[in-house]
Amino acid sequence: MMRLPSFRFAQVETIEEAAALLAKDPDNTRLVAGGTDLWPNMKRRHQQAETVVSLAKIPGLTGISGDGKAATTIGAMTTLTDIASSEFMQANYPGVVRAVASISAPVLRNMGTIGGNLCLDTRCTYYNQNEEWRRSIDYCMKEKGSTCWVAPSSSRCWAISASDAAPVLCAINAEVELVSKNGKRTIPLADLYQDDGINYLLKSRDEILTRLILPTPGTWKATYWKLRRRGSIDFPVLGVGAAMNFAPDGSVQDARIFLGAVRSAPTRCEASEQAIIGAQLNESNIAEAATCARKASSPLDNTDFVVNWRKKMVERYVEGALRELGNLPETVKSPPHGNWAQ
């Protein structure tokens, strides 16, 4: 049986108290929301802390606030189940709901939070093993070692971004609110990430993600396509978050396409976007956009499935997502995305 290591557990009741504790010793303090990522990681000794600060009892960090006429805010402690089962979210942000409903299984969505999923630790075949296995081959760069076993000659870690919510939320240009002892700031969600498997979040270590801010409903038409081995439970091997809006003549006025689980941060496919902006979606420009996405992805052999097949599926899934948004006949089978009502 894997057991948690010893640590001090702080149950705070205000965001100011949490921020003060985090600022006191950010290197040895961790925040816990639903705990579906942190507790298993601590049991496997992937992550360690002298103090764990729980955000569970802080008022104002849960709930969905919106009237459909302006931006919508979601508290970082709002559970994935509450988002996926919300009739308001289903009606106004179906692409976001699809992504959230695809995360893990109902029992974990009941505990997991949207803030936790956005800050999810990066993953890798060589990192996400038990401690004995990792020690037997020598620890990787992400933990105590100096070598990335995916790319031994590399000077950086290539663990992948495994958040399902992030790609589609980046695509619709969502924002997040960050709070620290020194104040608060709001940034585009896409600016929260950087392509580094170890230092994958660009927020300061003493900042707390408190709110997610979605654009006014109708601003973007969005979807999410997820590749995984099983129809539920599994982390993504590929996630495609695509969003666009259309001009009155049906042409694509703007588009944003982000890939998840191919690099250490959600990866924007700007060449794919340019292939479709200013024209009506058709077989030719969708194929060009899909090819550009494959070139931008560059997945490595650090998760499930063969790399070359994963690269090909980038192309197929981007094609499927764009055809869905353009209401074109389906040529790629849409993957299962979970039951919203669970």
pLDDT tens, position by position, 307-328: 999 999 999 999 999 999 999 9
Strand order, beta sheet including 221-227: 221-227, 238-246, 252-260, 267-268
Averaged pLDDT, 114-142: 92
CB atoms within 10 A of CB 262: 27
Averaged pLDDT, 233-243: 96
pLDDT for residue 268 is more than 60? yes
pLDDT at res. 180: 96
**In percent, how much of the chain has pLDDT > 70?**
97
Handedness of CA 261, 264, 265, 270 (dihedral sign): negative
pLDDT at res. 143: 87
Averaged pLDDT, 284-295: 97
Looking from the CA of 161 toward its CB, the CA atoms found within 13 Å total 30
Q: What's the burial of 47, exposed, middle or buried (CB within 10 Å: 0-12/13-18/19+)? A: middle
Whole-number Å distance between alpha carbons of 109 and 34: 9
CB atoms within 10 A of CB 281: 21
**The token pair that represents 251 in the structure block:** 């042409």
Q: What are phi and psi of 257, to 5 degrees?
A: -130, 125
pLDDT for residue 336 is more than 80? no
Q: What is the pTM assigned to this prediction?
A: 0.95
**In percent, how much of the chain has pLDDT > 90?**
87
Residues 226 and 335: beta-carbon distance below 8 Å: yes
Q: How far is CA 69 from the centre of its chain?
A: 26
Q: In sequence order, which residues have a C-beta less than 8 Å from that of residue 6 and are 6 or more positions away? A: none
Residues 186 and 175: beta-carbon distance below 8 Å: yes
pLDDT for residue 229 is more than 60? yes
Q: In sequence order, which residues have a C-beta less than 8 Å from that of residue 210 and are 6 or more positions away? A: 15, 61, 75, 76, 115, 177, 178, 179, 184
Whole-number Å distance between alpha carbons of 119 and 323: 30
Whole-number Å distance between alpha carbons of 50 and 281: 53
Q: How distant, in Å, are the alpha carbons of 123, 127, 268, 289, 314 from that of 303?
A: 8, 10, 20, 25, 15
Averaged pLDDT, 55-75: 96
pLDDT for residue 341 is more than 50? no
Q: How far is CA 257 from the centre of its chain?
A: 14
pLDDT at res. 337: 56
